[in-house]
Chain A
Amino acid sequence: GAGVSQSPSNKVTEKGKDVELRCDPISGHTALYWYRQSLGQGLEFLIYFQGNSAPDKSGLPSDRFSAERTGGSVSTLTIQRTQQEDSAVYLCASSSILGVGYTFGSGTRLTVV
């Protein structure tokens, strides 16, 4: 596609429920990143994929968070047993191996009530 697409754009969920966030990167971009932006804070790196593998999972806040990427394209970020502190905007970005910039999606605003 023309840009990085994220879905849903907004998600309200009850505490304790699982949620799945989807990211569709720019076609051909091999690198894909997940970030989280909490209210009043900067962007927090979560995880990075090169192809289908994630060399760096150190940013995932807890074992309730997991992410996968299949076919070197779409990625899903899963949060199990959501907590109120998980409420944030989750941003996905992709970059080509030859690129110098990162293209971000519009984000998914997650609210845990």
Chain B
Amino acid sequence: SQELEQSPQSLIVQEGKNLTINCTSSKTLYGLYWYKQKYGEGLIFLMMLQKGGEEKSHEKITAKLDEKKQQSSLHITASQPSHAGIYLCGADKGANNLFFGTGTRLTVIP
């Protein structure tokens, strides 16, 4: 079965610092989703990547999918307390069925 590994599991950064979260798959990804979860707010869709080498940005968050489509990175520039939460990568294994990594808990210290 396909697994998604996220690293690090937990991250604490000072406000203003840049950070990167990685998501690695054991198999080729055909759709990679990044979500952010804040308690009580459910999961918020950030972006989806499909093509090898694809890169998308949303405000200060950039996500990339490598050429082999087995690893994605999420990069936050100049982090803010509002970026704090749990970041989840998810992959599509067909039939609109997503599965997820265990998440990365991000804490931003003001």
Chain B, residue nearest A41 (CB): B102
Q: Which residues of the other chain, A, contact B35 by a CB distance below 8 angstroms?
A: 104
Interface-lining segment among B14-22, B77-85, B91-99: B91-99
Residue of A nearest to B44 (CB): A104
A113 within 8 A of B: no
Q: Among the listed A3, A33, A40, which residue makes an inter-chain contact with B98, where contact means beta carbons less than 8 Å apart?
A: A33
* B38 to chain A: closest residue by CB: A106
* Contact (Cβ within 8 A) B102 A56: no
B63 on the interface (CB 8 Å rule)? no
- Asked if A42 and B42 make an inter-chain contact with CB atoms under 8 angstroms apart, the answer reads no
Q: Is the CB of B97 within 8 A of A48?
A: yes
Nearest-neighbour CB distance to chain A for B32, whole angstroms, equals 12
Smallest Cβ-Cβ distance to B96: which chain A residue: A31
Known A42-B101, A43-B88, A100-B48: A95·B43 in contact at CB below 8 Å: no
The 9 A-B residue pairs with the shortest CB-CB distance in the complex, in nearest-first order: A104-B43, A101-B45, A42-B102, A43-B100, A106-B42, A104-B42, A42-B100, A100-B48, A105-B42
| Residue A55 at the chain B interface, CB threshold 8 Å | yes
Asked if B59 is at the interface of the complex by the 8 Å CB criterion, the answer is: no
**How many A residues have CB within 8 A of the partner chain?**
25
Given contacts A101-B45, A103-B45, A107-B42, contact A45 B98 (CB under 8 A): yes
Instruction: Convert A42-64 into 0s and 1s, putting 1 for each residue whose CB lies closer than 8 angstroms to a CB of B.
Output: 11010010100001100000000
Contact A45 B33 (CB under 8 A): no
Q: Give the chain A neighbours of B43 by CB distance below 8 A.
A: 91, 93, 102, 104
Q: A4 touching B42 by the CB < 8 A rule?
A: yes
Closest to A9 in B: B40
Interface pair B45/A102, CB less than 8 Å apart: yes
Question: What are 23 of the A-B contact pairs (CB < 8 Å)?
Answer: A3-B42, A4-B42, A31-B96, A33-B96, A33-B98, A40-B102, A41-B102, A42-B101, A43-B88, A43-B99, A45-B99, A50-B96, A55-B95, A91-B42, A101-B45, A101-B48, A102-B43, A102-B45, A103-B45, A104-B43, A104-B44, A104-B45, A107-B42
